[in-house]
């Protein structure tokens, strides 16, 4: 079939297999060009099919020559139905990594379930042949979680306490509108913590430890975000921020769990990048359009793959891991640079709503959004028929 993008709001409902393959190829090409790092050799990435998880997997595979297990939950394609982009990314990664002689195993399942944990444990025992895991990356972004109590919790993107009114942009028609979002109920806030907090991360580490699968000195890591004050009411002080606080606080319990192995848990606070998870957060795309424009002009702009490399460098290339006063790795250091943030604030406050395309990098984030779904990727002939059950 010929696949054209189906977009609703800031969500893309389908994906292009050939474009996904090309994009994974580009990420791998970047990784191949980086100086090697004597990093972990056996790596588990939970949430490996897209965004930060995929980039971390690629860097570990190509920069440290690690064997990886990647877990994700993505809709498969079939002869008459287009799959989710993450499903194509997985096929692309497996194909390209195998062709390069890399060892990997890609599993599909609900990472929150015990069944998925059991499958990963069985796979790790077989694939790593008695050797243990050095690095566990927890990179899930999910709207819901069925917890061990059998209840399905849903996460929401809402402020807490007060309603929030702010600017948001439709990345396709450049229309900026004011949105008002009512505050979450206490239950919604608690449920968001259940989904996106650290509870399941701890369950993973407990399960891997119980099966003696973690190496001496093993590291586990999850990703967080803080961002600028203009997004605080909705992000950091909103329901998702509460979940991120919980995730960050889980590091204490994880460090106790890992202490006997001399292991360590970290949260890395990453830069805002365009992914399926970030495009749907109101306010954030407009902030990102300004951020991208200014960071590109300064030459400090990074995508997921550049961030993943810098993270591995921070973790494995230095005698001590650089952290902030509460122990977090700050890969958002360039984004949060004071002078840059002042410029962003000025641009945000003075934005001429009739000139959004000129004054921001809206086109850059729109294109990136299309590309992470396999569309508008250079060198792909979109008029060609493709079989959505595979990648070529």
Which residues form the catalytic set? 235
Cβ neighbors of 11 (< 8 A, separation 6 or more) are: 276, 279, 280
Q: Is 195 in the site for ligand NAI (CB under 6 A)?
A: no
How many Cα atoms within 13 Å fall on the side-chain side of residue 378? 2
Which 3 state secondary structure label does DSSP give 224? strand
Among 60, 61, 68, 73, binds ligand NAI (CB under 6 A): 73
* Residue 161 buriedness (CB in 10 A; 0-12 / 13-18 / 19+): exposed
Task: Determine if residue 140 is labeled as part of a ligand binding site.
Answer: yes
Cα gap 353→351, rounded to integer Å: 6
Q: Which is nearer to ligand NAI, 273 or 283 (CB)?
A: 273
Task: Determine if residue 337 is labeled as part of a ligand binding site.
Answer: no
Q: Which is nearer to ligand NAI, 215 or 377 (CB)?
A: 377
Helix (H) or strand (E) holding 135: strand 133-138
How many Cα atoms within 13 Å fall on the side-chain side of residue 94? 18
Cα gap 189→154, rounded to integer Å: 10
Task: Determine if residue 99 is labeled as part of a ligand binding site.
Answer: no
Beta bridge partners of 108: 72
Task: Determine if residue 96 is labeled as part of a ligand binding site.
Answer: no
Which residues in 305-344 contact ligand NAI (CB under 6 A)?
Answer: none
The 17-56 site mask, x for binding ligand NAI (CB under 6 A), equals ------------------------------xxxxxxx---
Q: If you ran DSSP here, which 8-state letter would residue 76 be given?
A: P
In the complex, what is the shortest distance from the CB of residue 24 to ligand NAI, in angstroms, rounded to a whole number?
A: 13
Which residues in 219-278 contact ligand NAI (CB under 6 A)?
Answer: 223-225, 270, 272-273, 275-278
How many Cβ atoms sit within 10 Å of the Cβ of residue 337? 16
Q: Provide the edge-to-edge strand list for the sheet that holds 133-138.
A: 104-108, 67-72, 42-46, 133-138, 214-224, 264-269, 329-330
Instruction: Name the percent of the chain in helix, strand, coil, to the closest 5.
Output: 45, 15, 40
Q: Which is nearer to ligand NAI, 291 or 380 (CB)?
A: 291
Q: Which is nearer to ligand NAI, 192 or 275 (CB)?
A: 275
In the complex, what is the shortest distance from the CB of residue 363 to ligand NAI, in angstroms, rounded to a whole number?
A: 18
Task: Determine if residue 377 is labeled as part of a ligand binding site.
Answer: no
Q: Which is nearer to ligand NAI, 50 or 258 (CB)?
A: 50
Cα gap 121→212, rounded to integer Å: 10
The count of chain residues that interact with ligand NAI, using the rule CB under 6 A, is: 29
Residue 62 main-chain phi, psi, to 5 deg:
-100, -25
Q: Are 137 and 265 in contact (CB under 8 A)?
A: no
Q: Minimal CA–CA distance to 170: which of 6, 289, 276, 273?
A: 289
Cα gap 343→17, rounded to integer Å: 39
Q: Is 201 in the site for ligand NAI (CB under 6 A)?
A: no
Task: Determine if residue 231 is labeled as part of a ligand binding site.
Answer: no
In the complex, what is the shortest distance from the CB of residue 387 to ligand NAI, in angstroms, rounded to a whole number?
A: 22
Token pair 């204490």 is found at 252
Q: Are 35 and 126 in contact (CB under 8 A)?
A: no
In the complex, what is the shortest distance from the CB of residue 207 to ligand NAI, in angstroms, rounded to a whole number?
A: 14
In the complex, what is the shortest distance from the CB of residue 165 to ligand NAI, in angstroms, rounded to a whole number?
A: 23
In the complex, what is the shortest distance from the CB of residue 130 to ligand NAI, in angstroms, rounded to a whole number?
A: 26
Q: Is 142 in the site for ligand NAI (CB under 6 A)?
A: yes
Q: Which is nearer to ligand NAI, 97 or 111 (CB)?
A: 111
In the complex, what is the shortest distance from the CB of residue 51 to ligand NAI, in angstroms, rounded to a whole number?
A: 2
Which of these segments, 120-128, 134-142, 170-178, 180-188, binds ligand NAI (CB under 6 A)?
134-142
Q: Which is nearer to ligand NAI, 63 or 157 (CB)?
A: 157
Residues within the annotated binding site for NAD(+)? 73-74, 110-111, 140-141, 244, 273-275
Residues within the annotated binding site? 73-74, 110-111, 140-141, 225, 244, 273-275
* Contacts with ligand NAI, residue ranges (CB under 6 A): 47-53, 71-74, 86, 110-112, 139-142, 223-225, 270, 272-273, 275-278
């Amino acid at each position: 079939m010929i696949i054209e993008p189906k977009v609703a709001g800031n969500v893309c409902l389908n994906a292009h297999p050939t474009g996904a393959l090309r994009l994974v190829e580009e990420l791998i090409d970047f990784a191949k060009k980086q100086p090697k790092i004597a990093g972990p050799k056996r790596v588990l990435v939970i949430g490996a099919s897209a965004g930060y998880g995929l980039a971390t997997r690629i860097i570990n595979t190509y920069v440290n020559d690690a064997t990886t297990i990647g877990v994700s939950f993505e809709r498969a394609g079939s002869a008459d139905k287009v799959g989710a982009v993450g499903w194509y990314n997985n096929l692309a990664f497996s194909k390209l990594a195998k062709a390069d002689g890399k060892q990997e195993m890609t599993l599909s399942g609900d990472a929150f379930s015990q069944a998925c944990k059991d499958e990963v444990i069985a796979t790790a025992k077989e694939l790593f042949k008695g050797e243990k895991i050095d690095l566990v990356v927890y990179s899930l972004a999910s709207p819901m979680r069925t917890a061990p109590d059998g209840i399905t919790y849903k996460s929401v993107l809402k402020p807490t306490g007060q309603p929030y009114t702010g600017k948001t942009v439709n990345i396709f028609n450049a229309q900026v509108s004011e949105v008002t979002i009512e505050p979450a109920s206490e239950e919604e806030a608690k449920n968001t913590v259940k989904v996106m907090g650290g509870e399941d991360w701890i369950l993973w580490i407990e399960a891997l430890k119980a099966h003696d699968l973690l190496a001496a000195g093993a590291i586990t890591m999850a990703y967080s975000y803080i961002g600028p004050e203009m997004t605080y009411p909705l992000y950091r002080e909103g329901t998702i921020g509460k979940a991120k606080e919980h995730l960050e606080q889980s590091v204490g319990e994880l460090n106790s769990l890992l202490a006997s192995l001399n292991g360590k848990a970290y949260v890395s606070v990453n830069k805002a990048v365009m992914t399926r998870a970030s495009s749907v957060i109101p306010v954030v795309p407009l902030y990102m359009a300004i951020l991208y424009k200014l960071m590109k002009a300064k030459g400090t702009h990074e995508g997921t793959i550049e961030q993943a490399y810098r993270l591995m460098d921070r973790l494995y290339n230095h005698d001590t891991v650089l952290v902030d006063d509460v122990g977090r790795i700050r890969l958002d250091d360039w984004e949060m640079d004071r002078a840059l943030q002042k410029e962003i604030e000025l641009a945000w406050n003075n934005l001429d709503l009739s000139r959004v395309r000129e004054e921001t990098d809206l086109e850059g984030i729109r294109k990136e959004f299309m590309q992470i779904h396999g569309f508008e990727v250079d060198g792909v002939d979109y008029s060609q028929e493709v079989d959505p059950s595979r990648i070529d």
